[in-house]
């Protein structure tokens, strides 16, 4: 037994190829750009690129040979409301005439000290300012594109709407411009009408005199354009008095606690639409707020309420008489029950 072991140990080892057989797999030799040599630890040539982690590793021993590898794939930019895969750029926006797809030369980079710190001479800055003007003019050669630039500027600077609503107003104007509605009409007037309709759809109270003053047009022209645009886009909506409660309470400096009694009063009067229907919703809201503020001990004068609601004192007093008469009838009916 001992002799057999000795002879077995003295027998020379067979070649490695003899042990694999005919159907055995060949050793893997996976190379990558810049990684064709064997691994320093195990000697294998089996490199793997993990794009999500930015690492090149050896599949056999796990050695990390390189970190922070740039992704060779495409640079995605989200152009719709779907899944955002972007790493650069911003999504499209209707508040810019080119939807934000074109590149621009920022004037701030030429007028501030950044250009000087980067070694740009005054002559080079003048040349780049001229190139910037030429670039801007080349993008607005068509009259429709110039109109979009002006309209979007109006919406951004004068509408006073949140960014999502500015986007919607700009989208409506672009649609009207594409249908030829803006031709022959004031750009400021159409943008003001879009602003009013978007605010009304989202129950964000905006009054016609307020918007007319912001866009520097007459109330008559704005009212006419609102009717025309709402008919064309089918955006008819009746504004209720309760949509103006929060705005008028804030403008009059009343306490938020007044909203409870005000809602109770409105709940009592609302079913009797034959009394308040057809009246200005701003006037109805002003009359309810005036009446409630006097009842809770924080009175406001008729002049103050009318200046906030843009209604006359005659209109306010007439509505107050109607509401007082209605409330008297309701109390009399309840006492008879």
Mode of pairing for the β-strands spanning 55-58 and 64-66: antiparallel
Q: What is the pLDDT, as a whole number, of residue 197?
A: 92
- The one-character DSSP state at 218 is -
What whole-number distance in Å separates Cα of residue 148 and Cα of residue 138? Answer: 15
Confidence of residue 11 (pLDDT cuts 50, 70, 90): very low
Instruction: Compute φ and ψ for 47, nearest 5 degrees.
Output: -90, 145
Choice between 102 and 167, residue whose per-residue pLDDT is larger? 167
Q: What separation in angstroms does the CA of 313 have from each of 225, 306, 309? A: 28, 6, 10
Other Cβ atoms within 10 Å of 14 Cβ, number: 8
pTM: 0.57
Mean pLDDT across 289-295: 91
Tell me which H or E stretch contains 56: strand 55-58
pLDDT, average across residues 29-52: 82
Choice between 69 and 230, residue whose per-residue pLDDT is larger = 230
Asked whether the beta carbons of 148 and 174 are under 8 A apart, the reply is: yes
Which of 87-91, 143-147, 195-199, 275-279 shows the highest mean pLDDT? Answer: 195-199
Token pair 């009838």: residue? 329
Longest dimension (CA), the chain: 128
176 and 192 Cβ atoms separated by less than 8 Å? no
Residue 106 confidence (pLDDT): 74
Is pLDDT above 80 for 299?
yes
* Residue 130 token pair: 């001229």
State the chain's mean pLDDT as an integer. Answer: 80
| In contact, 217 and 189? CB cutoff 8 Å | yes
Q: What is the pLDDT of residues 260-275, one digit of tens each?
A: 999 999 998 888 878 8
Band of the pLDDT at 6, cuts 50, 70, 90?
very low
**What domains does the chain contain, in order, with CATH numbers?**
26-69 (2.20.25.10), 108-139 (no CATH), 143-233 (1.10.472.10), 241-336 (1.10.472.10)
- Would residue 253 be called left, alpha or beta, if left means φ above 0 and alpha means ψ between -120 and 50 degrees? left
Query: What pLDDT does residue 217 have?
Result: 92
The pLDDT tens digits of the residues spanning 70-102 come to 776 665 555 555 555 555 556 677 777 667 666
- Residues 188 and 169 sit within 8 Å (Cβ to Cβ): no
pLDDT digits (tens, 9 = 90+) for 110-130: 776 777 777 788 888 888 888
Contact 296, 260 (CB under 8 A): no
pLDDT at position 80 is 56
Instruction: Identify the pLDDT of residue 277.
Output: 80
- Which pLDDT band, with edges at 50, 70 and 90, does 144 fall under? confident
């Amino acid at each position: 037994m001992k002799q057999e072991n000795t002879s077995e140990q003295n027998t020379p080892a067979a070649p490695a190829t003899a042990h694999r057989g005919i159907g055995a797999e060949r050793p893997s030799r996976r190379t990558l750009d810049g990684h064709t040599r064997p691994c320093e630890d195990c000697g294998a040539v089996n490199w793997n690129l993990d794009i999500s982690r930015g690492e090149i590793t050896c599949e056999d021993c796990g050695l990390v040979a390189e970190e922070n590898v740039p992704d060779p794939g495409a640079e995605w930019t989200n152009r719709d409301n779907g899944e955002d895969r972007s790493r650069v750029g911003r999504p499209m926006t209707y508040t810019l005439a080119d939807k934000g797809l074109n590149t621009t030369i920022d004037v701030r980079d030429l007028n501030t000290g950044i250009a000087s710190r980067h070694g740009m001479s005054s002559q080079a800055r003048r040349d780049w300012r001229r190139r910037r003007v030429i670039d801007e003019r080349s993008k607005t050669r068509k009259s429709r594109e110039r109109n979009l630039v002006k309209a979007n500027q109006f919406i951004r600077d004068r509408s006073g709407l949140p960014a999502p609503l500015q986007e919607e107003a700009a989208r409506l104007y672009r649609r009207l411009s594409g249908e030829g509605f803006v031709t022959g009409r004031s750009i400021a007037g159409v943008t003001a009408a879009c602003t009013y309709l978007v605010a009304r759809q989202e129950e964000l109270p905006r009054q016609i005199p307020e918007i007319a003053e912001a866009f520097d047009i007459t109330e008559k022209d704005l009212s006419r354009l609102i009717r025309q645009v709402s008919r064309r886009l089918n955006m008819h909506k009746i504004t209720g008095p309760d949509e103006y409660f929060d705005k008028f309470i804030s403008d009059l400096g009343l306490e938020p606690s007044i909203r409870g009694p005000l809602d109770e009063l409105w709940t009592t009067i609302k079913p009797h639409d034959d009394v308040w229907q057809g009246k200005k919703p701003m006037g109805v809201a002003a009359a309810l707020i005036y009446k409630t503020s006097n009842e809770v001990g924080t009175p406001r004068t008729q002049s103050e309420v009318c200046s906030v609601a843009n209604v006359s004192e005659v209109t306010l007093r007439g509505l107050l008489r109607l509401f007082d008469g209605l409330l008297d009838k309701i109390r009399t009916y309840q006492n008879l029950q």
